[in-house]
């Protein structure tokens, strides 16, 4: 999912429905690869506030 340490949380939708997005560059400028959304997302559930990515970059755990 991510190939280097990155910021995964999306800022563009933060006020009501935060959505993390996968980014692959180790430093700015970042290029969004994919936007991740919750099918049952609700205002205030802070989806994407906490994110963990495995060391091999194949698994992400996203808190809500």
Torsion angle of C-alpha atoms 35, 36, 39, 42, degrees rounded to 10: -90
pLDDT in the model for residue 23: 58
Residue 53: count of CB within 10 angstroms of its CB: 19
Q: How far is CA 46 from the centre of its chain?
A: 11
For residues 22 and 44, give the distance between their C-alpha atoms in angstroms, rounded to a whole number.
21
Q: What is the residue range of 12's domain? A: 1-64
pLDDT digits (tens, 9 = 90+) for 2-43: 444 444 444 444 445 556 666 566 667 767 777 777 788 787
pLDDT in the model for residue 26: 66
Q: What domain count does the chain have?
A: 1
Whether residue 16 contacts residue 43, with contact meaning beta carbons closer than 8 Å, is answered with: yes
To the question of pTM greater than 0.85 for the whole model, the response is no
pLDDT in the model for residue 24: 61
């Amino acid at each position: 999912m991510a190939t280097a340490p990155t910021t995964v949380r999306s800022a563009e939708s933060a006020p009501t429905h935060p959505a993390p997005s996968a980014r692959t560059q180790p430093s700015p400028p970042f290029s969004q690869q994919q936007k991740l959304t919750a099918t049952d997302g609700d205002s205030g559930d802070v989806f994407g506030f906490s994110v963990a990515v495995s060391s091999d970059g194949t698994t992400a755990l996203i808190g809500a």
